[in-house]
């Protein structure tokens, strides 16, 4: 019985180690992000699945670092590298690629 617990603990640890190592990737020392945040209004969403699709679509836009979408409020918060893109470019790229949903700039806030 005691050996089974040890084997189980070691197996669990072995499974978790690769996940811990991959989540701690170091950022390149020379990369200097100028992260800015903007709020977008999203239309066409009816559920949490829609919000997940919009979030995934926003994350495919070059320069977008993070995206968080709430279908209840119809808002998306996007953090982006302002040396690579602008809110206007994010809106245009998203709307070109995603026919079912539409985004527009709500307001911008520097971070």
Across residues 75-88, what is the average pLDDT?
94
- Burial profile 66-77: b = 16 or more Cβ within 10 angstroms, e = fewer: ebebebeebbbb
- CATH placement of domain 35-110: 3.30.70.100
What is the pLDDT at residue 35?
A: 86
Chain mean pLDDT for the chain: 81
Contact between 90 and 21 under an 8 Å Cβ cutoff? The reply is no
pTM value is 0.65
- pLDDT, tens digit, 9 for 90 and up, residues 35-76: 899 999 999 999 999 999 999 999 999 999 999 999 999 999
Which of 69, 12, 99 minimizes the C-alpha distance to 4? Answer: 12
* Structural element, H or E, at residue 95: helix 87-97
What is the pLDDT at residue 13?
A: 58
């Amino acid at each position: 019985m005691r050996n089974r617990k040890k084997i189980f603990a070691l197996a669990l640890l072995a499974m978790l180690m690769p996940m811990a190592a991959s989540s701690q990737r170091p950022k390149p020392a020379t990369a200097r992000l100028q992260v800015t945040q903007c709020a977008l209004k999203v239309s066409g969403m009816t559920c949490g699945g829609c919000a997940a699709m919009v979030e995934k679509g926003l994350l495919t836009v070059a320069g977008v670092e993070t995206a968080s979408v709430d279908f209840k409020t119809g808002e998306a918060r996007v953090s982006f590298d302002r040396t690579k893109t602008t809110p206007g470019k994010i809106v245009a790229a998203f709307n070109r690629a995603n026919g079912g949903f539409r985004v527009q700039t709500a307001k911008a806030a520097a971070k």
